[in-house]
Structure 1
Amino acid sequence: MSVALQVGIIVGYLILALLVGVYAYRLTDRTAEDFYLASRTLGTVVLLFTTFATLLSAFTFFAGPNIAYANGPEWILVMGLMDGIVFAILWYVIGYKQWLLGRQYGYVTVGEMLGDRFGSRYLRGLVAGVSLLWLFPYVMLQQVGAGTALEALTEGAIPYSVGAGLITLFMIVYVVLAGMRGIAWTDTLQGAFMLVMTWVALLWVLVAIGGPSAATATLADSAETAGFLSLGGDFYTPQWMLSTAITIGFGVALFPQVNQRFFAAGSRKVLKRSLALWPILCVLLFVPAFMLGSWAAGLELSVPAGDNVLPVILAEYTPTWLAALVIAGAMAAMMSSSDSMLLSGSSYFTRDLYRPFIDGSISDHREDLIARVGVVLFATAAFVASLYNPATLFEIGDAAFSGFAQLALPLMVALYWRGTTRAGITAGIAASQTFYLASLFTAIFPATYAGWTPGVVGMAIGLALTVGVSLVTTPATDERRARYFEGVGGD
């Protein structure tokens, strides 16, 4: 009976979200801009919560508590404080300039924006190719998270493959129907829902175990977790914490599903209000989620190797219906990330690869159709890869964050320095990506550099080459050096 109730709650939630998508489909114009960006009309609340729900994924709900469970609550500093602040700053530094340029010139993707400025379809294709490369494992991460969560919650009644398949099928149907407008609406509902349910779960668990003091005391009583109550340690070194905060913060700003929301804001005021509220939302979600993981380490719970701690602590200390609602909230987070990723991935493919290299005269209606077909193919391929479950959620997510982070500094240089050349930004992006990929998949480079991760080192290489090569090269004749500076203003 409990399994039927859990599945019923989760499926009911999926159906509710799908109904919103169907309604949005009826209101969506059959144009690429409306499908991708909701015609650039998002307001403050919707923009804030769609960004919030889109970003907070299986990495947040499962990998984050797992890290806190294994190593202590300082993970809150990395994600909750450092990245809440780092990303809010980048939201203004990158996002506001992108919004101005998108409004002026109709850009939909970063590749389109850079390709136009530097007069290069190959640069446009490079940015799109790199973005799709790193987007793929992050879509897969959501499927892995959904599969493992449903398997743990139902004690194996729903196998991993069925859970991953369920989320994949839902993603495909939802994105094909809803587009950005429907996704933004359901993101707002899902963001508020997962925030409330996470706090309800935290309070329920604390009441069950005697309050925060009792929960913290259990950490001090165990030799294995006593170090959780002090800063630092073998895992949370200053270099590792800063490296992770930097790569996640900068990587988030270039995640396609997050970055495209910079283009979708309805006005400058909408964009600025949203970024100001962002750090508050981050802390409100990360603190309860990660503290549940930390306190679980002192409660002598049995968490099988490879499983996630959050479903285990919920199953132990909360009623079945509440555990199912919280997992539904986590599923909402995964869906919010996945559907937006698929939408953005299809835009990168159609706008930056199909248009420049296959059919430059494609109509808006045909592009809209190709985008929807692309969603099906991309999601299906990621699902097949997820069945092999090749790495932990943290490893998958960290690789994607750091990969996207390599794009951030070359983009910032181009947005604010007229002297950037096509050769400079191409060298910066290509070299940093090559270095990071080699660090990830080969033994050519060391695993760390005096404690700093390859992701941060790659960012430094990208910045140095973008600036250095630009200084010693001449701009190509078809570059538009004034594109980002003249005729671009606020409301």
Structure 2
Amino acid sequence: MSVAVQLGIIVVYLLVALAVGLLAYRLTEATAEDYYLASRSFGTLVLLFTTFATLLSAFTFFGGPNLAFSAGPEWLIVMGALDGVLFAVLWYVIGYKQWLVGRRNGYVTLGEMLGDRFGSPGLRGLVAGVSLIWLFPYVMLQQMGAGEALVGLSDGIVPYWAGAALITAFMILYVVLAGMRGVAWTDTIQGLFMLSIVWIAAIWVLAAVGGLGSATGSMLEARPDFGSFGGGLYTPGFIISSAITIAFGVTMFPQINQRFFVAESGAVLKRSFALWPVLVLLLFLPAFMLGAWAAGMPIDVAEGANVLPVVLNEYTPFWFAALVIAGAMAAMMSSSDSMLLSGSSYFTRDLYRPLINPDASASREAWLGRVGVAVFATLAFFASLLRPGTLIEVGDTAFSGFALLALPVICALYWDRTTRSGMIAGVAVPQIIYLALVLIPTLPRSFGGWDYALALMVLSAALTVGVSLVTSPTAESDASRFAVAGD
């Protein structure tokens, strides 16, 4: 009976989110700028929480606590302090300049912005293609997280594939209907809800085990290594590599990068990235510490299972555990629908329209984008059934792939001497090498704890600058398009 009630709570929560999307659908205009960017109208609260909820993925809610449970609470430092602050800095360095450029020239996607600056449909398609490649595993990550969440919540009664299928169906339906406005509205509701519920969960669990001191003492008794910084997995190479690749990768995620275009004013953008580190720490602290404290709790976490549903089932009422998991699944849906919406814009505007059918009507583009969403999500679902790695491994693969785009983009935004050839070399060569590292299992991904993605990031900058210095700007390039004044 309790499992039926839990599943009912989750379905009702998702249906409420869907209702918000239907309301937004009634207000969405039949233009690409409104469907994909909500006519660049977001205020501080909505921009901050739509960015926040878009990043509240399975990587955060299940991968993070799992890593803290197995390796120690230093993951809070990597994700909370280092990436919270570093991403806020990059939001200013990349996001603010991109907002200024996008507002002036009406850009909807990163590829559109770069392709126009360098007069290159090929570069536009390259950036879109690379982004879609690495978007695939991150969509798959949400489906894996949902499947594992329902297995843990129901003690295995609900199979893994059912949870993955549930979130896939909802994300397809939601994106087809809602557009950016609906996504942002539900993101705001879900972000506020999850921030509240995860703190209530932490306080509830701590009360059940005897308080903060008891939980920490039991953790240290079971895992004395959790009481000292570093060691084990947390080598300097791992910490620095993770912090850099995740922060730089986040800025290039289509669903995050596109949010650099949507603020209604520069003041909104500045307030949002100033508040970002605080918001990140407020979420990650209770979520990751629940995973770390679980190491000292008398619970049985099966190999490959997520620790958070096990802890909640043990120490909170079944209805509350279901509410937390419902919120987590909704957060995963927030991430997924944002990814699919952005992926749709990259496919239709940067690949289909410029390379296949420049004269496509707006209605045909919209129809094709919706079909693309369904196909992309369905393929990711079938891939998620193969479970190609842990949530952290799959997420890290995507982060590093996106991180390789960041330094060439910074060069394009701030260095007028950047050429089309430099951009193509800086984007394509590191991506080819990294793709080989991912697809060929016998090739190492790290050396002495240092991720090779860091070296490839340096290579991307060196190629962009070096090739630009020995090549001339093409006649189609126009650096003045990025010459904008702040506000």
1:314 aligns with 2:312: yes
SS in 1 for 2:446: coil
Checking the alignment, whether the CA contact within 8 Å between 2:13 and 2:327 is kept in structure 1 is no
Of 459, 462, 471, the match for 1:461: 459
Instruction: Return the alpha-carbon distance in structure 1 between the equivalents of residues 91 and 271 of structure 2.
Output: 11
Q: Deviations over 1:312-356 (max 9, x none)?
A: 011111110110111011112101100000000000000100011
Q: Which residue of 2 aligns with 1:416?
A: 414
- Matched to 1:192, the amino acid is L
Q: Which residue of 2 aligns with 1:173?
A: 173
> C-alpha displacement at 1:439, in angstroms?
2.1
Q: 1:60-139 maps to which residues of 2 (within 5 A)?
A: 60-139=60-139
Q: 1:355-366 maps to which residues of 2 (within 5 A)?
A: 355-366=353-364
SS in 2 for 1:482: helix
> C-alpha displacement at 1:446, in angstroms?
3.9
Q: Deviations over 1:27-74 (max 9, x none)?
A: 000111111000111111000000000011000000000000000000
SS in 1 for 2:116: helix
Instruction: Return the alpha-carbon distance in structure 2 between the equivalents of residues 137 and 119 of structure 1.
Output: 30
Q: Which residue of 2 aligns with 1:293?
A: 291
> C-alpha displacement at 1:264, in angstroms?
0.9
Q: Which residue of 1 aligns with 2:212?
A: 212
Q: Deviations over 1:433-491 (max 9, x none)?
A: 11211222226754323432011111011011111111111111211122211xx2334
Of 280, 283, 300, the match for 1:282: 280
SS in 2 for 1:187: helix
Instruction: Return the alpha-carbon distance in structure 1 between the equivalents of residues 260 and 166 of structure 2.
Output: 30
Checking the alignment, whether the CA contact within 8 Å between 2:49 and 2:192 is kept in structure 1 is yes
SS in 1 for 2:148: helix
SS in 2 for 1:214: helix
Checking the alignment, whether the CA contact within 8 Å between 1:80 and 1:287 is kept in structure 2 is yes
Stretches of structure 1 lacking an aligned partner (at least 5 in a row): none
Q: Which residue of 2 aligns with 1:56?
A: 56
Instruction: Return the alpha-carbon distance in structure 2 between the equivalents of residues 26 and 291 of structure 1.
Output: 41
Cα 1:127–1:475, aligned 2, differ >3 Å: closer, same or farther?
A: same
> C-alpha displacement at 1:301, in angstroms?
1.6
Of 259, 264, 271, the match for 1:273: 271
Instruction: Return the alpha-carbon distance in structure 1 between the equivalents of residues 276 and 51 of structure 2.
Output: 9
1:489 aligns with 2:477: no
- Matched to 2:173, the amino acid is V
Q: 1:233-244 maps to which residues of 2 (within 5 A)?
A: 233-244=231-242
Q: Which residue of 1 aligns with 2:24?
A: 24
> C-alpha displacement at 1:361, in angstroms?
1.6
Checking the alignment, whether the CA contact within 8 Å between 1:257 and 1:340 is kept in structure 2 is yes
> C-alpha displacement at 1:5, in angstroms?
1.2
Q: Which residue of 2 aligns with 1:149?
A: 149
Checking the alignment, whether the CA contact within 8 Å between 2:71 and 2:232 is kept in structure 1 is no
SS in 2 for 1:483: helix
Cα 1:457–1:445, aligned 2, differ >3 Å: closer, same or farther?
A: farther
- Matched to 2:5, the amino acid is L
Q: Deviations over 1:123-151 (max 9, x none)?
A: 11110000000000100110010011011
Checking the alignment, whether the CA contact within 8 Å between 1:56 and 1:334 is kept in structure 2 is yes
Instruction: Return the alpha-carbon distance in structure 2 between the equivalents of residues 451 and 147 of structure 1.
Output: 30
- Matched to 2:324, the amino acid is V
> C-alpha displacement at 1:24, in angstroms?
0.5
> C-alpha displacement at 1:391, in angstroms?
1.2
Instruction: Return the alpha-carbon distance in structure 2 between the equivalents of residues 397 and 204 of structure 1.
Output: 29
Checking the alignment, whether the CA contact within 8 Å between 1:35 and 1:368 is kept in structure 2 is no
Cα 1:466–1:203, aligned 2, differ >3 Å: closer, same or farther?
A: same
Instruction: Return the alpha-carbon distance in structure 2 between the equivalents of residues 398 and 286 of structure 1.
Output: 17
Instruction: Return the alpha-carbon distance in structure 2 between the equivalents of residues 5 and 26 of structure 1.
Output: 32
Q: Which residue of 1 aligns with 2:327?
A: 329
Q: Which residue of 2 aligns with 1:304?
A: 302
Q: Which residue of 2 aligns with 1:403?
A: 401
Cα 1:159–1:451, aligned 2, differ >3 Å: closer, same or farther?
A: closer
Instruction: Return the alpha-carbon distance in structure 2 between the equivalents of residues 443 and 203 of structure 1.
Output: 43
Instruction: Return the alpha-carbon distance in structure 2 between the equivalents of residues 424 and 88 of structure 1.
Output: 27
Q: Which residue of 2 aligns with 1:36?
A: 36
Q: Which residue of 2 aligns with 1:451?
A: 449
- Matched to 2:159, the amino acid is P
- Matched to 1:326, the amino acid is V
- Matched to 2:41, the amino acid is T
> C-alpha displacement at 1:21, in angstroms?
0.7
1:184 aligns with 2:184: yes
Q: 1:196-207 maps to which residues of 2 (within 5 A)?
A: 196-207=196-207
- Matched to 1:398, the amino acid is D
Instruction: Return the alpha-carbon distance in structure 2 between the equivalents of residues 10 and 445 of structure 1.
Output: 41
Q: Which residue of 1 aligns with 2:425?
A: 427
> C-alpha displacement at 1:376, in angstroms?
1.1
- Tell me the TM-score normalized by structure 2: 0.98
1:247 aligns with 2:239: no
> C-alpha displacement at 1:365, in angstroms?
2.7
SS in 2 for 1:234: coil
Query: Could you tell which deviates more after superposition, 154-163 or 30-39?
Result: 154-163
Stretches of structure 2 lacking an aligned partner (at least 5 in a row): none
